[in-house]
Structure 1
Amino acid sequence: MSQGNPALETEHRTLRREFNFGSVFAFAFAFISPIVALYGIFGIAVAEAGPSFWWGFLIVFGGQFLVALVFATLVSRWPIEGSVYQWATRLIGSAYGWFAGWFYICTLVIAMTTVALGAAGFIANILGVRGAGATQVALIAFVLLIVGTIINLLGRGVLKVFMVASIIAEIFGSIGLGIWLLIAHRTNSITILFDQGESVGASDGYFTLGGPFLLAVVFIGFSFVGFESAGAIAEEVHEPRKNLPKAVLFSLTIISLIVMFSSLAIILAMPENASQLPGYAEDPVHAVLTALLGSQFAIPIQVLFSIGFIASFLALQTSASRLIWAKARDGALPFSRSLSVLTKKQSQPIGPIIITTVIGTALLLMSNVAENIYEVMVSFTSGGFYLSFLFPVLGFVVALFKKRWVSGPFSLGVFTKPVAVAALIWVVLELVNIAWPRAVNGSFLLDWSVIIGVGTLALVGALVYASVRKRIENVETSAVVIDAPKSDASRADRS
């Protein structure tokens, strides 16, 4: 039960539906962002596994598309703010759903900070700060964190403008750049994709569990997440049962195609002596683009990259704040009553937005003193997303085998069970791959960071859950508005 009065004032519990299909697609598109998906991991992946890492994109896309089909099915039945948390709760129960939401919140906030750090690297290049140190990067990321928070607080209208700006940046910064590189700067044969790590001295045990290729797949796993974010803002979308499944599937598919194309273009354009270029070790993308295009063109391109990263940050922060709000509405967090309040004018959850900023700031302080923190945050974020995905996917499989599932408007029909089982197998395998303690960081704590991090969050989560367990609402029977009919009467889903 909610703290205090179980029925909070309507104006404090109802979000405005201001997103149509185009804007919710743009939101999911910006969340994943081809620019972030590629340039956030390209340097790490190519350094660890060479050009052959590109094949990992096909593997990860195939697995994630199975998950996207499951999520499209789930959001069609339950288009409720909070996505992963809501689906897991309704499939298994409140405790199960609570931990799904807990890990998802933590993952989103860490991912938000990771993207801010990634953007800070590009902005440092734009400002002419070469070889920026950890303190400089963290400071730039902090400024982005504050500016992004202000933008999010201004309302959905400003947010949608940045989502559109992101798509424009993607067209020029990913597709346009890729076409130009292939036309004017291609230097390598397609056979370079089959070098199996030889170009970076990583051919030994290339395809083993602890080998370079599967390590690259870990980082690629970070690239193809976020399609579920459309469900995170479900109660702010018009005709959610119709629009959300399409947004989930289209955003993942289109972004995957853009990422694979852009990555291929860069690989085929990389000079033979790319590793010897100035600054290559710190930022391979910047070094290659500067060598190929000259600094006068490389800088504008990185401005487009920065726009993509900032839009992704905004979408991540929005998703995290909406999930915190959704849990608070159910009385499932400390200070739930305060966190569930929305502003009267914009219907914005200010409390949750500010909390994400505070936590992000703390993470940036950690990044200033810890080595290899960016790589660790990418790995941990990947692990966090797949762990969060595991909850609803496993719950869906259980519901199918117990014959408790009733489909919404979007359904896979006879393929539902095979797709769900295949998605579950994929999520488990990728989660194991991500968490596998490879000896690549020269530190026990860093090599085991995903397992240690998940264990720590589980312990903290258990303590938080124990403090709110008695008052958690039974969300399976709570009156949560799902559709927004044209009439003033709203329909509640009590399934």
Structure 2
Amino acid sequence: MSSSAAAGHTDSDAAQLAALGYTAEFKRDMSPWANFSLGFTYLSPVVAVYTMFAFGLATAGPPMIWSLVIAGVGQLLVALVFSEVVAQFPVAGGLYPWARRLWGRRYAWMTGWIYLAALFATIAGVVSGGGAYAAVLFGVDDSVDTVVLCSLAILAVATTINYLGTRVLAIAAIVGFTAELLGALAVGVWLIATGRHHGLGILFDTFGAGDGADYTVAFASAALVGIYNYYGFEACGDVAEEVRDPGRMIPKAMRRTIYIGGAAATFVALALVLAVTDIPAVISGENPDPVTGVLESAFGSAGAKAILAIVLLSFLSCAMSLQAAAGRLAYSYGRDDMIVGSRWLRKFSQTRGVPPYALLFGGAFVPALIVLASRFVDVTRVVTFAALGIYLSFQMVVLAALRARLKGWQPSGKYRLGKWGLPVNFAALAYGVVAILTMTWPRTPNAPWYDDYVVLLSGAVVVGVGLLYMAVHPSYGRSDAPYDDAIPKSASRADGKRPERSEKPEPSGA
């Protein structure tokens, strides 16, 4: 792109942002491929598959791989809905500002709150997983203290990359994407070429998984492999104010994230399944870590270390992208004066081109507290909320888009589904509801009730705390930033004035 064309895009992007009620502060230094890479590294097929593979194979056998295909199609529907929304409202922060324009302030506050809490938990979970791999890679004792220190080190590196600005973040995202994709392809090809022990027919062989009960239940449990894999594409929209021509480029990046990330994840899972020597041993629990065994058998000790280095880089890239999303979301809250501490969260460093306090709070401080808490208590219950929170906040935006369509919203961005908009929106909502039910239904009837319902309970706690905050300190009532403008007003309001609302602004000291 020529400098004059780039300048023209920058001017039109700033004008569009001004029309949406905001002043451009971020530098539009993120290329389309860097934007896609950010979504890909957030989705991180290597992290998802290596983390969930043993669970999926033990629960449902090789057919668990089909959950990756099913979830990929479902999340593609969600991505298409998001694409229409971000094309019309390319504002930093993603889900929160989208829900704000589609529905209103209170609904948007809760959507963003759930998503932010999920990001906290996800960042903590990712760096903790990376910390365990780092301990193995460097040959140190994998005690709790060591893993915590390694986790905090990964968090610190990711924070530094984010703090250096959009251009550095973009370069790091591309490096992370390239290393992860090439590593996944290299490992997959080598395993299929030299370490394969089965034919493709085993993808339809359960090997007795499910303890002889209804296999549908076992497959639904293993479907978490697919459900946990397909989110991250929304990060492309979280940085909408850092991309030129975002209404056209971000929808493309979101779809590429699903296509390429899903294909990579499925390929890695396929290669691992075909390379596991004794699948019944995994199902019985005799072999709880088939991934390490497969890598050491195929690559030897030194080769396995190299693979672990790529896996560790994938964890770092994933944490970095998650932090970027959390920082932009916190900044978006602060800019709209929607939460305690807004005057700090909205501060912007013109030198670095980032909101420093929002980044440190959303991407580093709270996740670090969760990681440190793992030194003293089992924080698994906190981390288990992560996927549920992300899916729940996704579906709140999908529901808001569906409501807006039924009230007359006609997407006007550069990406539109046209006549397919309504059926795709309905299908995306249906998929999301099924996915949420799959995550929350009890799986361990012999466990204490609070362990059996831990995902549902953690979600209820987050929502309950959010409702309590909204009742005690209704910050959203003070916010005068634009909201619910996606829905056309009646002809009687054609003069451009907003109708009277029951939500009255609170005094500034509330």
Could you tell me the TM-score, scaled by structure 1's length? 0.88
Does the CA contact (< 8 Å) of 1:274 and 1:288 recur in 2?
Answer: no
Q: 2:11: which partner in 1?
A: none
What is the CA deviation profile of residues 71-127 of structure 1, one whole-angstrom value per residue up to 9, with x for unaligned ones? 111111111111111111111111111111111111111111111112112212111
- SS for the counterpart of 1:41 is helix
Equivalent residue letter for 2:255: L
Does the CA contact (< 8 Å) of 2:67 and 2:225 recur in 1?
Answer: no
- Pairing partner for 1:242 from 243, 248, 252: 248
Q: 1:291: which partner in 2?
A: 297
Task: State yes or no: 1:406 paired with 2:411.
Answer: yes
- Pairing partner for 1:423 from 418, 421, 428: 428
- Pairing partner for 1:180 from 187, 190, 193: 190
Q: How does 1:30-429 map to 2 (within 5 A)?
A: 30-129=41-140, 132-196=142-206, 198=208, 200=209, 202-207=211-216, 211-272=217-278, 275=281, 281=287, 283-356=289-362, 357-371=364-378, 373-374=379-380, 376=381, 379-429=384-434
Could you tell me the TM-score, scaled by structure 2's length? 0.85
Gaps of 5+ in 1: 1-6, 479-493
Equivalent residue letter for 1:146: A
Equivalent residue letter for 1:161: I
Distance 1:440 1:262 in 2: 32
Does the CA contact (< 8 Å) of 2:382 and 2:458 recur in 1?
Answer: no
- SS for the counterpart of 2:223 is helix
Deviation at 1:191, TM superposition (A): 2.0
Does the CA contact (< 8 Å) of 1:218 and 1:382 recur in 2?
Answer: no
What is the CA deviation profile of residues 261-284 of structure 1, one whole-angstrom value per residue up to 9, with x for unaligned ones? 11101100111268489x985643
Task: State yes or no: 1:465 paired with 2:498.
Answer: no
Does the CA contact (< 8 Å) of 1:20 and 1:237 recur in 2?
Answer: yes
What is the CA deviation profile of residues 144-165 of structure 1, one whole-angstrom value per residue up to 9, with x for unaligned ones? 1122212221222322232122
Does the CA contact (< 8 Å) of 2:96 and 2:111 recur in 1?
Answer: yes
Does the CA contact (< 8 Å) of 2:83 and 2:254 recur in 1?
Answer: yes
Does the CA contact (< 8 Å) of 1:12 and 1:340 recur in 2?
Answer: no
Does the CA contact (< 8 Å) of 2:337 and 2:476 recur in 1?
Answer: no
Equivalent residue letter for 2:117: C
Rate the CA distance shift 1:23–1:441 in 2: closer, same or farther, 3 A: farther
Distance 1:396 1:127 in 2: 48
Deviation at 1:232, TM superposition (A): 0.5
Does the CA contact (< 8 Å) of 1:169 and 1:305 recur in 2?
Answer: no
Deviation at 1:424, TM superposition (A): 0.6
- SS for the counterpart of 1:264 is helix
Equivalent residue letter for 1:360: P
Deviation at 1:56, TM superposition (A): 0.7
Distance 2:337 2:89 in 1: 19
Rate the CA distance shift 1:457–1:76 in 2: closer, same or farther, 3 A: same
What is the CA deviation profile of residues 428-460 of structure 1, one whole-angstrom value per residue up to 9, with x for unaligned ones? 111111111221783432321222111111122
Q: 2:501: which partner in 1?
A: none
Deviation at 1:292, TM superposition (A): 2.4
Q: 1:4: which partner in 2?
A: none
Distance 2:203 2:385 in 1: 27
Does the CA contact (< 8 Å) of 1:379 and 1:450 recur in 2?
Answer: yes
Rate the CA distance shift 1:192–1:271 in 2: closer, same or farther, 3 A: same
Does the CA contact (< 8 Å) of 1:72 and 1:248 recur in 2?
Answer: yes
What is the CA deviation profile of residues 21-78 of structure 1, one whole-angstrom value per residue up to 9, with x for unaligned ones? 1111111111111212211221222222222211111110111111011111111111
Distance 1:266 1:335 in 2: 47
Does the CA contact (< 8 Å) of 1:88 and 1:96 recur in 2?
Answer: yes
Gaps of 5+ in 2: 1-17, 486-497, 499-510
Distance 2:446 2:32 in 1: 43
State the identity %: 31
Q: Which moved more, 1:94-103 or 1:153-162?
A: 153-162
Equivalent residue letter for 2:454: S
User: Aligned-residue CA RMSD in angstroms?
Assistant: 2.5
Rate the CA distance shift 1:193–1:392 in 2: closer, same or farther, 3 A: same
